[in-house]
Structure 1
Amino acid sequence: MSAPLKREIISSLPLQMTVYFNAYFAPCWVTSHLYTLFQKVPKLAGFWITTLMLQFPMMIYQSISSDWSALPLERAVDGLQTIFLIFELIIGFFAVKRIAKFQYSKFRQQMAIKNFEKNNKIE
């Protein structure tokens, strides 16, 4: 009989902070905050890819486009959100990489324990 495994949690505080502050600008991002808290790697990676492929290019286009006349307050808010997006992209990449590596090592460790127990059965 094996001893119960301790549950270790690894997450990224900087990513959680940027998503939290950005949630005031885009409320649908609150769900990504939950993904970072519970280490759901596929969903967190999906959030990162969605940010990279959809929201970031649209935000850059909206900020740079000269056809769009915006008020100074809109420009300031767009600039702040663009800064949040840049931080989320950079920090999110490393967070996904680190969490995936951690979960992979946990999986390998559990498989090694199971193989050891299977090969060394005590009867």
Structure 2
Amino acid sequence: DKMGTHFSNLPLQVCLYFNVVFFPFWLAVNFIMIPIKFSKLEILYQFILALSLVAVIIIEGIRLYIGYIGNLKEKIPEIASFWLISVLLQTPLQMFLLLSSGIKSSVLERIMQSIMCIFLIVQIILGFIA
């Protein structure tokens, strides 16, 4: 009986797990806050916010799934895809949602977005190591 050796990255997996658990709460806060602040935004920022949130939601689901599969099954292409999606797509969108003053984020939104950005930065570092 040989036990298979696994080389999946445990810290990355833990971070992905907590991100998956946190994501619905982040989503709920954003969906609750959109009607409250949407009418206060300029037309351009209404469009940019809606487009950014749709993109972040779709990309985040795909990114977390690919990260899980790539890490657990030790598949290099999936880990590389996870890392590239994180760096090239998710980081600019998440940083825009965190740092843009034009979308008039509340304190709760800034806190939730900061946590998402921390998850993202940690996953980028751990994904590079993996």
Structure-1-length-normalised TM-score: 0.67
Change (3 A) 1:30 1:43: closer
1:60 and 2:57 matched: no
Please say if residues 32 and 44 of structure 1, whose CA atoms lie closer than 8 Å, have aligned partners that are also in contact. Answer: yes
Structure 1 runs (4+) greater than 3 angstroms displaced = none
Partners of 2:89 and 2:65 in 1: CA distance: 17
Name which structure has the greater RCO, CA cutoff 8 Å, separation 6+: 2
1:40 and 2:75 matched: yes
Percent identical: 34
Task: Mark the runs of 5 or more structure 2 residues left unpaired by the alignment.
Answer: 24-56
Please say if residues 11 and 39 of structure 1, whose CA atoms lie closer than 8 Å, have aligned partners that are also in contact. Answer: yes
Change (3 A) 1:6 1:13: closer
Partners of 1:39 and 1:31 in 2: CA distance: 11
Change (3 A) 1:45 1:31: closer
Task: Mark the runs of 5 or more structure 1 residues left unpaired by the alignment.
Answer: 96-123
Q: How many residues align?
A: 91
Larger gyration radius, structure 1 or structure 2: 1
Normalized per residue, the structure richer in helix is 2
Q: Which residue of structure 2 aligns with residue 93 of structure 1?
A: 128
Partners of 1:17 and 1:7 in 2: CA distance: 21
